[in-house]
Each structure stands twice: as C-alpha cells, then as structure tokens.
Amino acid sequence: MSILLLFPLIVFAKADFRVCNTTQQTVGVALGYRTFSGWVSEGWWVVPVTECKTLIEGPLASRFYYFYAEGAQKKGNWAGSVTMCVQDSQFTIQGVHDCFPRGYQKAEFKEIDTGNQTSWMIQLTDESLFNSSVSPSLSGNSPP
C-alpha cells in the first residue's frame, strides 16, 4: 500500500530552479547563467509573499547560476559580487560587459553552485535580507 502512495509522488517530481519568498514583502528576482553563445541575465520574476516561482523549468543544464533579488519597496536586496546587467522592466540581456553604454544598469549577482543537482530551490527570508555577516545572503538547496 505504501508503495502505491509513493509512486505518484515520484512520477510528478519536477526538476527545476525555484525561488520561494518567506519575507514580509514582494520580491523581484533576476537570474544569470552562461549559454553556448555567452552570458545571459533575465528578470524580473515577481515573487509575492509566501509564494514560490519557477525560474527554470526542467533539469538544470549548468552547475553555476547567478542570482539577484530586491524587495519591491527597495528596502534591501540579496546580492553577491558578480556584476551583470539588469533594467527596470522585464529583460533578457545578452552579455555582462558595457551595461551602461548599452542602456542597462548593473547589479551584483550571487553565485549559486548547484553541484550536480538537477533541481535547486532558494528560500528568501527576512533574516537573510538583513544579515550583514559573511554567511550566505540566501539559502539554497536541492529539494528532497
């Protein structure tokens, strides 16, 4: 009986890259990654309070992704040290150099090492937003 109950869970398990927002504010999310033709940054996915969004559907094709998020009221961000291009409205930008001359802004993305995982989830928290220590500014893991 327990095998029959577990089987549907296995069949419907999805590989993807998701972001879950457990903060008290809506969050805008951008993602960067390398393709065969070069670097790409994309955004904005709007992730309301207590919701999750899938940024990449299907198994992850890369080991490294680059993540940036900011609160909708501009009251903080989850940033790193890798510069990529962004803009205020929805975007897909090829390349990471010469952001300003091309009419874009710069943001500092955090490198996410997914190892050999086919799925990844980032959980944004108020604590990670306001934590100024050396520890990671977001938490990520492979779903069970």
Question: What one-character-per-residue DSSP string does 59-108 give?
Answer: S---SEEEEEEEETTSS-EE--SEEEEE-SSSEEEE-SS-TTTTT-EEEE
Instruction: Give, as one character, the DSSP assignment of residue 43.
Output: E
Distance (Å, rounded) from C-alpha 91 to C-alpha 78?
19
Rounded to an integer, the average pLDDT of 23-39 is 92
Distance (Å, rounded) from C-alpha 20 to C-alpha 41?
19
- Name the band, by pLDDT with cuts 50, 70 and 90, for residue 10: very low
pTM over cut 0.75: yes
The string of pLDDT tens digits covering residues 65-91 is 999 999 877 667 888 899 999 999 999
pLDDT of 43 over the 90 cut:
yes
- Name the band, by pLDDT with cuts 50, 70 and 90, for residue 5: very low
CA quadruple 96, 99, 101, 105: dihedral, nearest 10? 170
pLDDT of residue 6: 37
Select from 113, 104, 103, 105 the least CA-distant residue to 136: 113
pLDDT of 9 over the 70 cut:
no
Rounded to an integer, the average pLDDT of 118-130 is 79
- Name the band, by pLDDT with cuts 50, 70 and 90, for residue 128: low
Asked if 68 and 34 count as a contact pair (C-beta separation under 8 A), the reply is: no
pLDDT of 132 over the 70 cut:
no
pLDDT of residue 50: 94
Match 């327990």 to its residue by tokens.
2
What size, in residues, is the chain? Answer: 144
